[in-house]
Structure 1
Amino acid sequence: MGASSSTEQNVSSEQREVESLAASTGSISLLQNAFSKLADPQRNAIPLQSLQQCFSLNYENTECEAVKMPDSLLGLLDHLGPAMVDLFFVTDKGGVNWVEFIRGYLKCCGRMPVSALLNTLLRLLAATGGKAGIPLKLEVEAIDDGDYKISGSLLPIDVLVFLWMCWTMLWNSRTCRFLKEKEYLYLPDISPLVLSAVSSCAEGGRGLELWDCDILGLDIQLPAGEFLTWMMTTVTNLAECFTQFVNARLQNCASSEQDALESSSSSLREISPGKACNSCLLTGGRAWAISLAIRSTISKEILNPYFPSDSNATDENLLYRSSLHGRGLSRFWSNIEGYLGPLLILISATSGDANEDSTNSRKWIIGALTHQGFENRDVFYGTSGTLFAISPVFHVFSPSGKEKNFVYSHLHPTGRVYEPHPKPVGIAFGGTAGNERVFIDEDFAKVTLRHHAVDKTYLHGSLFPSQGFLPVEGLILEIEAWGLGGRKAREIQLSYKKREELFTDQRRKVDLKTFASWEDSPEKMMMDMVGDPNRVEREDR
């Protein structure tokens, strides 16, 4: 068959070229197995219907976290498979042959710049929307050398549907081993992401009221070029949702039915992500938004609690929660001490009335990601980090490269009674001592945010809408700390805690057998001091 003919003498140069490109992606064996499973042996080609079915999505049960799901979403997902095949794979009378199968795969998952991958996603949205009958104002224009120019505009509801389409592809790739095809689709609340695109791309978007904004009712045009720029700066990893989906579906087709049965029968954590994690600050939508902005293994680790798995990732990753473990820096420290992996800190606060029923309160959530454990130091430290505005609108503030004041975490000094110039006790991110961009006090009662002009460590931008130039003191509602170093970092922390507990127990114990007699015992010394504390004893020489 075509998948195995590359070793023969009559292989064309075209086939060698595409196979070489596929081999550079590390997927040549996957493509060979998938082709052998899908292809018609007589025609040595994949029937069009089989390839469409391979990439088709059809969910019957959906759970939406907050925003009402538009009716157009399910129609878009129903036409995703046929649109992909028409857009990327060239067919003839017999179907898709081996060379065109590889060529189509390279159009989806080949080595190309991030801008080209994101451009491909927008082309897929336009093609799928056309098949589903969704009126989109996107225009795709072909240019030389296979490049395409995207013009036109998007509405906020179009952005919502587009991002949910990308999430669904990621969800399918992560759950295909655990859930049946039509069993369940979980849609997180991604309103802050959509508002981020609106405020960044639309004319007049920065002056939009973002606190209580109805995304489905917004009639604002987002230019396609501006939207592509926003994706490149804010959600860089969005294209990986598509590439992971393509590889997972081909892997699923290449696997035997017996493997699929064994995988589906394996034990897994049967939970609803919306119900299990919505009580936390780090909801599914917020975790996905953060994962789209960071390019490392952390982006996968942060999403583990929101996909079916064989372990309880929520308990493993959540190290501290103020409402659960108690407020204050000491409580926080006792839960995160010894954790040497990346840490994500989330702070929920209000800059208005703390009363939950108050209409004047402005609740917001910010976050800070550190790539190392916390240390008790009276100066700034760290090698890298990122600040996030998470709610009501999402923004990313990466390192600027000018300074390295990433983290400050200082507890009360031990062993010293007086300090002439005491350093502030608390946690901070960015800025300088006494002029921090984000400062959390010792009691975890208040958080102070300052204008980005005081900070040269992180990029400029407001941490919540209408932050202003003056310092803002917010009342803390909740603080969470999530460990993103994987199971190994958690095991190292647990061993550290056990070792510290052992040392503490040893220091508390006094073994009387080590003293030779009553004269040498600590009880005798104490009795003598109580009886006559002013008595002077001469040392025997």
Structure 2
Amino acid sequence: MGASSSSDQRVSSEQREAESLAAAAGALPMLRKAFSDLADPQTSAVPVASLQRRLSLCFDKPISSATRVPDSFSGLLENLGASIVDLFFVAEKGGLSWVEFLKGYVKCCGRMAASMVLSNLLRVFALAANKAGHQVDLQFESDEADCKVGGHLMPTDVLMLLWMCWTTLWSSKVCELPKGKAALFLPDIGCLVLSAVVSCADNGSSLDLWNFDILGSEVQLPAGKFVAWALATVPTLPDCYSQFVHEHLGNCSIPQQDELEPSNSSSGDTTSVEASGAHLLTPGRAWAISLTVRNALREVILTHCFFSNCDKIEESLLYRSSLHGKGLNRFWSNTEGYLGPLLMLVSGYSGDSHEANTRDKKWVIGVLLQQGLESRDHFYGSPGNLYAVDPIFRAYLPSGKEKNFIYSHLHPSARVYEPHPKPVGLGFGGTIGNERIFIDEDFARITLRHHAVDKTYRSGPLFPNQGFLPVDAIISEVEVWGLGGTKAKEVQVSLKKREQLFTEQRRKVDLKTFASWEDSPEKMMMDMMNDPNSVRREDR
């Protein structure tokens, strides 16, 4: 009797602790409903197979326009749910009890250090890949919070890991997964893979990044260095996995395995996705940038990753040089009055424009601004980010030492003499005349300087082999995307209409507002010029 009472008290205490941890994560009501939906009424436990199906992803034909998809990738996604359950959910003979269900969720989505979440992600990836027949050489020393990861990854492993994270994030963003096996579009994330290769490989800096074969490379990336790279470059990458578990446990509309039927639906309109390749902001680049952002802008940027209608995305495109025309005035007419955050991308290439292979080595850099642009002859603005986007991805956040974030100076509207005129154009970081990034007023050339001149943003090259000397490069394309939503766009349209109205009013001359010509100053001046010796009324 006493033993039974002690056992009941122990179980009750264990349950209270598990519920407390789930409540701290803000998921206890959702977990109660999910357990009720999945549990067998007879055993009051969740069958392991049901939970595995809830956390599985089944797609018919993964498609990528940039790189061939490894044959084992579909199997990896199919084994994702089983791997998560095997690693974190401890089942009894009748299935998962309420307490074990809570404990498993806390291990996946509870509050923990970022390094532990990343370790869990790598653990899931390695097990799912091995089940699919793709061997990954990763070793995990323990199950504790200070677990260290050993072994190494190949570039193909990194590609599959990142694609797995992208797929889990996409599946958690849609309201309802398509019924049946759907075609899955995978974005071009080569810039992220190359970033990991250059940062982790022993000879990464000597690789030819424009001709690097991800699937054929045998370069080994030490697991410890990869963890350090992921935490520094893409800190929100593990959130893709934890958000996937949270959303799928709470999503009751996900089809079960026995409901799967052939389907022609896809993870996005393939035609629209291919059309987006004409933009500098591709889904893969947008996702890479979103992985560096922790505030509300992350969700806005993610809308450029998962879409099925290009027209909706085009609404946030404020300026594109090939569409609206090059030059600071054209740029300003499309961005003036937009008071929300902005994402600016610039594509260029250095060297002689007549060289045959120059245009094949284009690079893309980006600037994320927290506010709209103003015409000033000095630096201003709030903290933003600089990005080396392609062919290798790097993020340079504010250093906190200086606040020279934005410089956007137009020609003065009134012609006045300036003994020391300020440069006309766009600049980011550095100082006036010595900016880290400077775009001239014609939008024809861009000057990139070494990070030593800039104390505003963190150090690092903006394109491969940048060197210490300033680089004067040719601009291919400039894009500016508004991230302020519908409200910011409406404010800009309203300001433009008001400015247009004022301009039309200034062009009109209402003669009724003027006094008689005989008493006007203009007539007096003309009379003085005709006969300067005549007597005026003021002289009498």
Shared fold (TM-score greater than 0.5)?
yes
Q: What amino acid is aligned across from residue 468 of structure 1 in structure 2? A: G
- Judge which range, 408-417 or 322-331, deviates more: 408-417
Within 5 A, what are the aligned runs for 1:276-315?
276-308=275-307, 312-315=311-314
Give yes or no for contact 1:273–1:305 (8 Å, CA) kept in 2. no
Q: Secondary structure at the match of 2:375?
A: coil
Provide closer, same or farther for how the CA distance between residues 95 and 533 of structure 1 changes in structure 2, counting only shifts above 3 A. Answer: farther
Give yes or no for contact 2:273–2:308 (8 Å, CA) kept in 1. no
Q: Secondary structure at the match of 1:172?
A: helix
Matched, 1:377 2:406: no
Matched, 1:484 2:487: no
Deviation at 1:178, TM superposition (A): 6.7
Give yes or no for contact 2:176–2:253 (8 Å, CA) kept in 1. no
Match of 1:5 in 2: none
Provide closer, same or farther for how the CA distance between residues 222 and 418 of structure 1 changes in structure 2, counting only shifts above 3 A. Answer: same
Provide closer, same or farther for how the CA distance between residues 273 and 13 of structure 1 changes in structure 2, counting only shifts above 3 A. Answer: farther
Provide closer, same or farther for how the CA distance between residues 361 and 270 of structure 1 changes in structure 2, counting only shifts above 3 A. Answer: closer
1:87-118 C-alpha deviation (Å, 9 max, x unpaired)? 11110111111111111111111011111111
Match of 1:13 in 2: 13
Q: How far apart, CA to CA, are the structure 1 residues paired with 2:442 and 2:287?
A: 30
Provide closer, same or farther for how the CA distance between residues 271 and 67 of structure 1 changes in structure 2, counting only shifts above 3 A. Answer: closer
Q: What amino acid is aligned across from residue 480 of structure 1 in structure 2? A: E
Match of 2:44 in 1: 44
1:16-62 C-alpha deviation (Å, 9 max, x unpaired)? 11111111111111111111111111111111111011011111143
How many percent identity over aligned positions? 57
Give yes or no for contact 1:199–1:206 (8 Å, CA) kept in 2. yes
Give yes or no for contact 1:169–1:245 (8 Å, CA) kept in 2. yes
Provide closer, same or farther for how the CA distance between residues 116 and 307 of structure 1 changes in structure 2, counting only shifts above 3 A. Answer: same
Give yes or no for contact 2:349–2:358 (8 Å, CA) kept in 1. no
Provide closer, same or farther for how the CA distance between residues 190 and 539 of structure 1 changes in structure 2, counting only shifts above 3 A. Answer: farther
Match of 2:163 in 1: 164
Deviation at 1:353, TM superposition (A): 3.6
Q: How far apart, CA to CA, are the structure 2 residues paired with 1:431 and 1:494?
A: 33
Q: Secondary structure at the match of 2:329?
A: helix
Matched, 1:408 2:421: no
Unaligned runs of 5+ in 2: 1-7, 257-266
Q: What amino acid is aligned across from residue 66 of structure 2 in structure 1? A: A
Match of 2:84 in 1: 84
Match of 1:3 in 2: none
Q: How far apart, CA to CA, are the structure 2 residues paired with 1:385 and 1:13?
A: 47
Match of 1:221 in 2: 220
Deviation at 1:306, TM superposition (A): 3.0
Match of 1:124 in 2: 124
1:181-226 C-alpha deviation (Å, 9 max, x unpaired)? 5333221100010000000011111121212211111111101010
Deviation at 1:488, TM superposition (A): 1.9
Q: Secondary structure at the match of 2:138?
A: strand
Within 5 A, what are the aligned runs for 1:81-120?
81-120=81-120
Q: Secondary structure at the match of 2:141?
A: strand
Q: How far apart, CA to CA, are the structure 2 residues paired with 1:407 and 1:225?
A: 37
1:485-538 C-alpha deviation (Å, 9 max, x unpaired)? 22222222222222222222222222233346565799xx59x98899646695
Q: What amino acid is aligned across from residue 436 of structure 1 in structure 2? A: E
Q: Secondary structure at the match of 1:112?
A: coil
Deviation at 1:314, TM superposition (A): 1.3
Unaligned runs of 5+ in 1: 1-7, 258-267
Q: Secondary structure at the match of 1:246?
A: helix
Q: Secondary structure at the match of 2:459?
A: coil
Give yes or no for contact 1:428–1:439 (8 Å, CA) kept in 2. yes
Q: What amino acid is aligned across from residue 113 of structure 1 in structure 2? A: A
Deviation at 1:119, TM superposition (A): 1.1
Q: What amino acid is aligned across from residue 469 of structure 2 in structure 1? A: L
Q: What amino acid is aligned across from residue 367 of structure 1 in structure 2? A: G
TM-align CA RMSD: 2.8
Deviation at 1:352, TM superposition (A): 2.6
Q: How far apart, CA to CA, are the structure 1 residues paired with 2:497 and 2:268?
A: 28
Give yes or no for contact 1:178–1:308 (8 Å, CA) kept in 2. no
Q: Secondary structure at the match of 2:67?
A: coil
Provide closer, same or farther for how the CA distance between residues 179 and 326 of structure 1 changes in structure 2, counting only shifts above 3 A. Answer: farther
Q: Secondary structure at the match of 1:153?
A: strand
Q: How far apart, CA to CA, are the structure 2 residues paired with 1:539 and 1:481?
A: 62
Q: Secondary structure at the match of 1:334?
A: helix
Q: Secondary structure at the match of 1:159?
A: helix
Give yes or no for contact 2:149–2:223 (8 Å, CA) kept in 1. yes
1:212-247 C-alpha deviation (Å, 9 max, x unpaired)? 211111111101010000000000010111122112
Provide closer, same or farther for how the CA distance between residues 218 and 379 of structure 1 changes in structure 2, counting only shifts above 3 A. Answer: same
Give me the TM-score of the superposition, normalised by structure 2: 0.90
Q: How far apart, CA to CA, are the structure 2 residues paired with 1:38 and 1:20?
A: 21
Match of 2:446 in 1: 447
1:441-460 C-alpha deviation (Å, 9 max, x unpaired)? 00000000111111111111
Q: How far apart, CA to CA, are the structure 1 residues paired with 2:236 and 2:392?
A: 19
Within 5 A, what are the aligned runs for 1:348-427?
348-354=347-353, 358=357, 362-427=361-426
Match of 1:4 in 2: none
Q: Secondary structure at the match of 1:396?
A: strand
Within 5 A, what are the aligned runs for 1:255-274?
272-274=271-273
Q: How far apart, CA to CA, are the structure 1 residues paired with 2:103 and 2:531?
A: 96
Q: Secondary structure at the match of 1:116?
A: helix
Provide closer, same or farther for how the CA distance between residues 76 and 271 of structure 1 changes in structure 2, counting only shifts above 3 A. Answer: closer
Give me the TM-score of the superposition, normalised by structure 1: 0.90
Give yes or no for contact 2:348–2:476 (8 Å, CA) kept in 1. yes
Match of 2:30 in 1: 30
Match of 2:141 in 1: 141
Q: What amino acid is aligned across from residue 139 of structure 1 in structure 2? A: Q
Q: What amino acid is aligned across from residue 406 of structure 1 in structure 2? A: F
Q: What amino acid is aligned across from residue 108 of structure 1 in structure 2? A: C
Give yes or no for contact 1:271–1:308 (8 Å, CA) kept in 2. no
Q: Secondary structure at the match of 1:415?
A: coil
Match of 2:252 in 1: 253
1:437-488 C-alpha deviation (Å, 9 max, x unpaired)? 1110000000001111111111111111111111111100000011112222
Give yes or no for contact 1:388–1:397 (8 Å, CA) kept in 2. yes
Q: What amino acid is aligned across from residue 27 of structure 1 in structure 2? A: A
Q: How far apart, CA to CA, are the structure 2 residues paired with 1:273 and 1:535?
A: 76
Q: How far apart, CA to CA, are the structure 1 residues paired with 2:175 and 2:458?
A: 38
Deviation at 1:180, TM superposition (A): 4.0
Match of 2:209 in 1: 210
Q: How far apart, CA to CA, are the structure 2 residues paired with 1:187 and 1:95?
A: 35
Give yes or no for contact 1:410–1:427 (8 Å, CA) kept in 2. yes
Deviation at 1:148, TM superposition (A): 2.7
Q: Secondary structure at the match of 2:288?
A: helix
Within 5 A, what are the aligned runs for 1:450-461?
450-461=449-460
Give yes or no for contact 1:408–1:427 (8 Å, CA) kept in 2. yes
Q: Secondary structure at the match of 2:211?
A: coil
Matched, 1:495 2:494: yes
Give yes or no for contact 1:352–1:362 (8 Å, CA) kept in 2. no
Q: How far apart, CA to CA, are the structure 1 residues paired with 2:179 and 2:405?
A: 44
Matched, 1:505 2:504: yes
Q: What amino acid is aligned across from residue 173 of structure 2 in structure 1? A: R
Q: What amino acid is aligned across from residue 293 of structure 2 in structure 1? A: I
Provide closer, same or farther for how the CA distance between residues 429 and 40 of structure 1 changes in structure 2, counting only shifts above 3 A. Answer: same
Provide closer, same or farther for how the CA distance between residues 139 and 9 of structure 1 changes in structure 2, counting only shifts above 3 A. Answer: closer
Give yes or no for contact 2:185–2:268 (8 Å, CA) kept in 1. no
